[in-house]
Structure 1
Amino acid sequence: MTSQPRSLDFHPLRADLYQELHSRPFQVLPSRARVTQIALLTTPAQRQSQFRHLQNLHRLLGEHWPEQEVSCYEQDFGPLRIRREVHMEFTTYTFTNLRDSDADPFAETGISLLPDGWLNELEGTVVGAFHVEVRPSSESARNELAFMRKHFEGMRLVGSSPQEGAARILGTFQLHSDHFGRFMVLNHSMSDSQLGRLVQRLMEIETYRLMSLLALPLAREITPALNDMDQQLVNITQSLADNETLDEQKILAELTNIASRIEAFRAHSTFRFSATRAYHRLVLTRLEELREDEVSGHLTLTEFMTRRLTPAVKTCEAVGERLEDLSRRVDRASDMMRTRVELAIQSQNQQLLSSMDRRSRIQLMMQHTVEGFSVVAISYYLIGLLKLALDTLREAGVAFNHSLVLGVAIPVVMVLVFIGIRMIHHRFIKMARRQ
């Protein structure tokens, strides 16, 4: 007998990771069921309000309500089954009517058993809303198609026989007079669990299709502005290539304006375009899982999606890539403009330095001239002082040749003053060089 390894350090999320794969189980459906799914875009506040509204539904139906919200909740209320799934940005409600009834298709739906007024108070923005009629097949394929067509208000049908003909699906991917979409599933040989998986895939295809198309209006809205910015950028880069005389500050302001608009578009659209790609991949995956066979005269779901949905998704991807390309081109144009401005500044600095060098040489020449005048001026004052001193000595009775001494002193004083000024000059030059 193996003992429990209590000493192992288990990750705190280990149980949640195991449970994640089982959090959204497939439904089990009989061959006679009416299913309605509603997908709503929700904010966190609306999600909390929706959960309280779900608790209120339990009270209205006389059942005990859930205390804690989970990602996937399912509950049976007799013939009514309710399933709520919380996704990243939307919530789906699946209402399954299992009541035995001989009513015509879509005369009764999954929401027919809900209390009056409850659905109208459900918060959130409805993106997807459609009915799925599940019935057993008849003997004749031709009679089946005629039976199915008359319940889709004359709209063009899209359909197939998935799982090697084990069932038949028809739908329109359009809104009908009740503002809901419609699908009909006729079961030939599927078990209840297989039928539940088929209907689940069908509902996911329709929901993810609609979620993936949310980016298309945004892409169309952005495109004219991108065209204008693209043309502005072409004009700017052409002017740079032609070496025209430009107002650099004006051009930089235009580039900054374009860059800010692009970043605003990117902030507004990046998540939506990324979500579109993710939803589109989920749609393609679910279509592969259907393993469709063609129904004579009708496009299969895969053909319809490839022809209609894929171009729309490619348009969104192209707009997203164009935003990224424009952002890179604006960066390169800004770099070129900055280089142009820096070169102009360097040229101005060089001219300024040359002008300063010329002024420095002129100032040096003026300084030398001033130094010559300074020697004369200082010598003049020193000789004046010396003359006063000699006059004082002569009056004191000292005998000497006053004129001779004064004449000899003049050149000596001038030479000494000149040497002193030059020494001071060289001392300051050495201090400047050390600094």
Structure 2
Amino acid sequence: MSNQRPDLDFHPLRADLYQELHSRPFQVIPSTARITHIAVLITPEQRQQQFEHLQKLHRLLGQPWPEEEVSCYEHDLGDLRIRREVHMEFATYTFINLAESKTAPFKETGLSLLPQGWIEELAGTVVAAFHVDVRRSSEDARSELAFMRKYFEDTRLVGSSPQGGAARILGSFQLHSDNFGRFMVLNRDMSNSQLGRLVQRLMEIETYRLMSLLGLPLARDITPALNDMDQQLAVITQSLADNESLDEQELLSRLTNIAARIEAFRAHSTFRFSATRAYHRLVLTRLEELREDEVSGHLTLTEFMTRRLTPAVKTCEAVGERLEDLSRRIDRASEMMRTRVDLAIQSQNQQLLSSMDRRSRIQLMMQHTVEGFSVVVISYYLIGLLKMALNALRESGMEFNTPLILGVAIPIVMTAVFLGVRRIHYRFIRMARKQ
């Protein structure tokens, strides 16, 4: 059998499709690490600024810098590991401090080894920013929980034991005095690869949670306007149903105004609400992958998210569905208005045709009257011409009774004129019928 590669027509994106599954690998994290994760909303211009800022960080640390931007960049700088991921609308930075330390949790973070002032110059709007402290677990679970609680500034904690109790997670899902969130992971018997996957899922849960909640303020802002437009539309629809005498122009103007506002809201919110649903699904997927067990006295991450996050997402979905429903109702109301206007136009056309028909009949009667007068007038002039002809003949020497001839000629002339006029009249009627 030949070992030569077959010369096939490969798709130009085939290699990229293979690489896509490996573009964001899980990290390998030891049991002692201090991690800071930041998610930043960016515009296309800020994305380029961020890449140049990342190159600046490498120069400040005396390291070779990346020449081209990639969707996931990771570089190990000894005790500091940097990871940058670029997503659709945001970018994430993960700084892992691997230096040996005996300080209290969160005293040192992933930012501790960064050059002074570098992080403050990062372009974009920060949405998620939190620290993760990874440590070895002790044998005494109660003392361990007490140890973990005191570093969360007396906030109420949420926690679980994922992967069958192989580790323990505790967090508050709140901002602390340093304006960062905090999570603590105590590793019992996970390998560095398993621990890296666990921490990665935890960071994604918190990032996607906050990204999904970006739609909630927008939903709350839109709701009062939707209530007002819903009431206006109900009044307009009821007026149409009651068959009231309405000003169609004013009504159409109001409907157009409501429709324009609805479309403006839809244009402003469709992407945000769609993103909210997508991020929420990612959160639920990552929670399932944790396979949590309950820590006595604490809500698990899944329970907390189900109770707090899901209602917020449902609110966004409800507002989005309400926008679509209002848009459909406006279309139906506009259709009813168009039908009403069309019926009014048809009624006006019918009245106009009836009026034209009456005028045509009157014109016909007037025409017949004029025809009668025209017969008399034409006959009068013809008799006058005949009289002039008879007078000329008498002067030439011919003898005849002029009054008698004129008397006999009058009925004959009038009859001939009448028949001629009627013939012309019928001729025009036949021409009109043919057309």
Q: Is TM-score (shorter-chain normalized) higher than 0.5? A: yes
* Residue equivalent to 1:305: 305
* Residue equivalent to 2:33: 33
* Residue equivalent to 1:404: 404
* Residue equivalent to 2:419: 419
Distance 1:80 1:152 in 2: 25
* Residue equivalent to 2:3: 2
SS of residue matched to 2:319: helix
* Residue equivalent to 2:92: 92
2:53 paired with 1:62: no
Distance 1:200 1:14 in 2: 28
- AA partner of residue 88 (structure 1): M
**TM-score normalised by structure 1 residue count:** 0.97
- AA partner of residue 405 (structure 2): V
* Residue equivalent to 2:248: 248
Aligned residues: 434
2:272 paired with 1:260: no
Deviation for aligned residue 1:347: 1.6
Query: Once the two structures are superposed, what CA deviation does each residue of 1:44-86 show, in whole Å capped at 9, x if it has no partner?
Result: 0110111111111111111111111111111111111111101
Deviation for aligned residue 1:195: 0.4
Structure 2 segments unaligned to the other structure (5+ residues): none
SS of residue matched to 1:184: strand
**TM-score normalised by structure 2 residue count:** 0.97
SS of residue matched to 2:67: coil
Distance 1:434 1:131 in 2: 94
- AA partner of residue 337 (structure 1): M
* Residue equivalent to 1:294: 294
- AA partner of residue 347 (structure 2): S
Distance 1:243 1:250 in 2: 16
Deviation for aligned residue 1:251: 1.3
* Residue equivalent to 1:16: 16
Distance 1:82 1:416 in 2: 117
SS of residue matched to 1:237: helix
Distance 1:55 1:132 in 2: 25
Larger deviation, residues 173-182 vs 355-364: 355-364
Q: Where do residues 124-273 of structure 1 align in structure 2 (5 Å cutoff)?
A: 124-273=124-273
2:42 paired with 1:42: yes
Deviation for aligned residue 1:410: 2.2
Distance 1:41 1:49 in 2: 13
SS of residue matched to 1:31: coil
Deviation for aligned residue 1:399: 4.0
Distance 2:376 2:406 in 1: 16
C-alpha root-mean-square deviation of aligned residues, in Å? 1.2
SS of residue matched to 1:27: coil
Deviation for aligned residue 1:415: 2.2
Deviation for aligned residue 1:416: 2.4
Query: Once the two structures are superposed, what CA deviation does each residue of 1:227-259 show, in whole Å capped at 9, x if it has no partner?
Result: 011111111111222222222221111111111
Query: Once the two structures are superposed, what CA deviation does each residue of 1:168-207 show, in whole Å capped at 9, x if it has no partner?
Result: 0000111111111000000001110100000000000000
* Residue equivalent to 2:430: 430
Distance 2:397 2:182 in 1: 140
- AA partner of residue 197 (structure 1): R
Query: Once the two structures are superposed, what CA deviation does each residue of 1:134-167 show, in whole Å capped at 9, x if it has no partner?
Result: 1111121111101110100110000000000000
* Residue equivalent to 2:116: 116
Distance 1:111 1:386 in 2: 128
Query: Once the two structures are superposed, what CA deviation does each residue of 1:14-68 show, in whole Å capped at 9, x if it has no partner?
Result: 1111111111000000000111111111100110111111111111111111111
- AA partner of residue 81 (structure 2): R
* Residue equivalent to 2:351: 351
Q: Where do residues 309-348 of structure 1 align in structure 2 (5 Å cutoff)?
A: 309-348=309-348
- AA partner of residue 144 (structure 2): E
SS of residue matched to 1:30: coil
SS of residue matched to 2:152: coil
Deviation for aligned residue 1:343: 1.5
Deviation for aligned residue 1:97: 0.7
- AA partner of residue 9 (structure 1): D
